[in-house]
Amino acid sequence: MIKLSKNNEKKEYETLRKEIIGRYSRKKTLEEYRNYAKQGLWKEEKKLFNKYLEKGSLILDLACGSGREAFPLVRMGHKVIGIDNAPPMIRLAKELSKKLKIKVDFKIGDATDLKFKDNKFDAVIILYNSWNFISGENNRLKCLEGGYRVLKPGGYFIFSSHIRRFFSKEMVGWIKQLIKMYFLRYFGYPVREVEWGDVYYKNKEKVECLYIHKPSLSKIKKQLKMANFNIMEIIIGIERYNKKKNMRKIKKNYGFFVCKKPDNLT
């Protein structure tokens, strides 16, 4: 494959980081997230939290958004610190925390650069595919390693992620990407994708660019191993309502992961 130079790669990641912060700072997005905060936990999240978190846990919520998962977790009897790198999102979360009278310590922070002491938290979470917004394999690994560092031994890292499946409804998109990355770039066509699995979406008005990285299941498992986690449980699939067909469907290209920092670290 024609690879981007390390400098260009770094530049693209920095551009993307700013674009993502910009996207989550927009008025329209913030209004959407005001509503998401009311929706609360997804069925799969609730199931895993009930199974793995002991009452009174101290939880670090990475890329917390407007507090969709933080508020219910406090109601369940836990303490939550939430960080997000979009300052307007943190302002919104603080406003909602006051309104709802639910105490969460919301702060601006980056999920790839955690400013917390080692062994502090009972659980670290990063949900609603927020981990997929981190560009670059090494940056996603930094997030996992950081989570591992700040967890107490025996603590849980719980996250959700898109899962790339080539032979799926998305196959045409992957074939297009293959052509772009392996052929068109060679002929000088401007291609933004750095890694296989990077996806850029356009919105309905075909203007906004939304980046997301869709890793394969084996890559996720490999990265969790590299960060020294033990994988406890993986739920493949997410139940979603299909408006057109008026029925609930399981989307298989999504997963929930529960990983543990080993208890005995000698």
Ligand X SMILES: C[S@@+](CC[C@H](N)C(=O)[O-])C[C@H]1O[C@@H](n2cnc3c(N)ncnc32)[C@H](O)[C@@H]1O
Q: Does 86 bind ligand X (CB under 6 A)?
A: yes
Kindly state whether residue 163 participates in binding ligand X, applying the rule CB under 6 A. Answer: no
Query: Binding of ligand X at residue 89 (CB under 6 A)?
Result: yes
- CA neighbours closer than 13 Å in the CB half-sphere of residue 263: 0
158 binds ligand X (CB under 6 A): no
Residue 97 interacting with ligand X (CB under 6 A): no
Amino acid symbol at 50: N
- If one asks whether residue 134 binds ligand X (CB under 6 A), the answer comes out as yes
Please give the distance of CA 261 from its chain centroid, rounded to a whole number. Answer: 19
Question: Within positions 46 to 65, which residues make up the interface with ligand X, using CB under 6 A?
Answer: 63-65
DSSP letters, 97-112, are: HHHHT---EEEE-BTT
Question: Kindly report the CA angle at 265 between 261 and 266, in degrees rounded to 5?
Answer: 165
Minimal distance in Å, beta carbon 128 to ligand X?
3
Q: Identify which of residues 108 and 226 has a Cβ nearer to ligand X in the complex.
A: 108
Amino acid identity of residue 101, one-letter, is K
Using CB under 6 A as the binding rule, the residues of this chain from 219 to 248 that contact ligand X are none
| SS3 at position 90 | helix
x/- track of binding to ligand X for residues 199-218 (CB under 6 A) = --------------------
* DSSP letter, residue 120: -
Query: Rule CB under 6 A: which of 108-127 touch ligand X?
Result: 110-112, 127
Whether 223 contacts 163, CB under 8 Å? no
Q: How far is the CB of 14 from ligand X (least distance, A)?
A: 12
> Rounded distance, CA 144 to CA 142, Å?
5
Query: Cα(110)–Cα(21) distance, rounded to whole angstroms?
Result: 11
Question: Could you please report the per-residue DSSP string of 150-205?
Answer: HEEEEEEEEEEEE---SSSTTHHHHHHHHHIIIIIGGGT------STTEEEEE-TT
Q: How far is the CB of 178 from ligand X (least distance, A)?
A: 27
Q: Pick between residue 57 and residue 112 the one whose CB is nearest to ligand X.
A: 112
Closer residue to ligand X (CB): 36 or 200: 36
Q: Is 84 in the site for ligand X (CB under 6 A)?
A: yes
Please, which residue, 85 or 177, has the CB nearer to ligand X? Answer: 85
Report the distance separating Cα 195 and Cα 39, nearest Å.
33
Residue 130 in the binding site for ligand X (CB under 6 A):
yes
Q: Does 128 help bind ligand X (rule: CB under 6 A)?
A: yes
Query: Which residue in the set 106, 121, 133, 211 belongs to the binding site for ligand X (CB under 6 A)?
Result: 133
Which residues are near ligand X by CB under 6 A? 20, 24, 36, 63-65, 68-69, 84-86, 89, 110-112, 127-128, 130, 133-134
